[in-house]
């Protein structure tokens, strides 16, 4: 439901926080109060000044989703402010764009985790960053430039992505992949990129189609993972996922499972470095 007082207060404060130069108008000394005029916001949003004035006075008819979108654009709202504006107006919060870039803070954090296999990917499964230890653990350089860098495509289409995973674990990981992707599809309904990805996977994988039809939904945050490495043998790991709510980026960190020799094997791989290993 619409929060009229809250919406009115937010609109007034956002309008007051902007200057004419923010919207390309010359600064003048003839304004009695700081910020933009109501008429200027109305013009930017493509609505009548009377309708906008009533919104700031907590009265009048409810704004439509398109009007709220226009107001968010006119008032130069950040993504978080836009979400807040939509909630105040009582309309569905629009989905965020798929994250295709890593912000400097997240990249710096990933770079400091050189002792642990680490990669960053978006909620469509597109890998944006891997560290050398993650590449060494993969064994076949699965995320090197020039290769298909999508986690879901590599798992459900023919290739070497499953070769280093024990067969006993594959069905569980397949189900986890699909339930995670189902959650993304729900969050990004109508996004052509997720629609195309689901269509492609359904076309090429009967396993994917079967799991997709179960309609299981879950965002993964932690899991257990075993890797059968061709040189150091079986490594048992704890998979920890850190999810950024703004963009849906996931940082996957693989930690040695306590009570196993995983720590020693990861250290050996780190010493070996980025050398590529051939399976078998």
pLDDT at 168: 92
pLDDT level of residue 29 (50, 70, 90 thresholds)? low
Judged against a pLDDT cut of 50, whether residue 217 lies above it is answered with yes
Backbone angles phi, psi at 187, to 5 degrees: -70, -30
pLDDT tens, position by position, 88-144? 999 988 776 677 888 888 889 998 998 999 999 998 999 999 998 998 888 655 555
Mean pLDDT of the chain: 86
Condensed to tens digits (0 to 9), the pLDDT of residues 247-266 reads 789 999 999 999 999 999 99
pLDDT digits (tens, 9 = 90+) for 52-63: 999 999 998 999
Q: Which long-range contacts (CB under 8 A, 24 or more apart) does 155-162 make?
A: 156/201, 156/204, 156/205, 156/207, 156/208, 157/201, 157/204, 157/205, 160/279
Burial of 278: CB neighbours in 10 Å, binned 0-12, 13-18, 19+: exposed
Residues of the chain with pLDDT > 90, as a percent, come to 54
Radius of gyration of the chain (CA): 25
């Amino acid at each position: 439901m619409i929060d009229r007082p809250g919406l009115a207060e937010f609109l007034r404060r956002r309008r007051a926080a902007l200057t004419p130069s923010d919207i390309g108008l010359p600064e003048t000394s003839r304004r009695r109060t700081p910020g933009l005029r109501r008429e200027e916001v109305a013009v930017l949003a493509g609505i009548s000044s009377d309708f906008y004035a009533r919104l700031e006075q907590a009265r009048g008819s409810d704004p439509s989703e398109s009007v709220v979108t226009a107001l968010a654009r006119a008032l130069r709202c950040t993504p978080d402010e836009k979400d807040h504006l939509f909630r105040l107006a009582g309309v569905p919060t629009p989905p965020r764009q798929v994250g295709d870039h890593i912000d400097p803070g997240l990249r710096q954090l990933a770079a400091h985790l050189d002792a642990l296999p680490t990669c960053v990917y978006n909620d469509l499964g597109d890998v944006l960053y891997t560290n050398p230890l993650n590449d060494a653990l993969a064994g076949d350089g699965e995320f090197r430039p020039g290769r298909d860098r999508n986690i879901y495509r590599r798992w459900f289409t023919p290739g070497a992505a499953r070769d280093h995973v024990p067969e006993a674990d594959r069905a569980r990981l397949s189900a986890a992949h699909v339930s995670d992707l189902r959650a993304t599809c729900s969050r990004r309904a109508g996004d052509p990129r997720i629609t195309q990805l689901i269509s492609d996977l359904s076309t090429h994988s009967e396993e994917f189609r079967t799991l997709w039809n179960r309609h299981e939904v879950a965002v993964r945050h932690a899991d257990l993972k075993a890797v059968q490495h061709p040189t150091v043998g079986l490594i048992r790991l704890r998979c920890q996922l850190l999810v950024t709510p703004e963009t849906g980026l996931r940082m996957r960190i693989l930690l040695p499972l306590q009570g196993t020799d995983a720590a020693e094997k990861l250290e050996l791989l780190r010493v070996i470095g980025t050398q590529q290993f051939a399976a078998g």
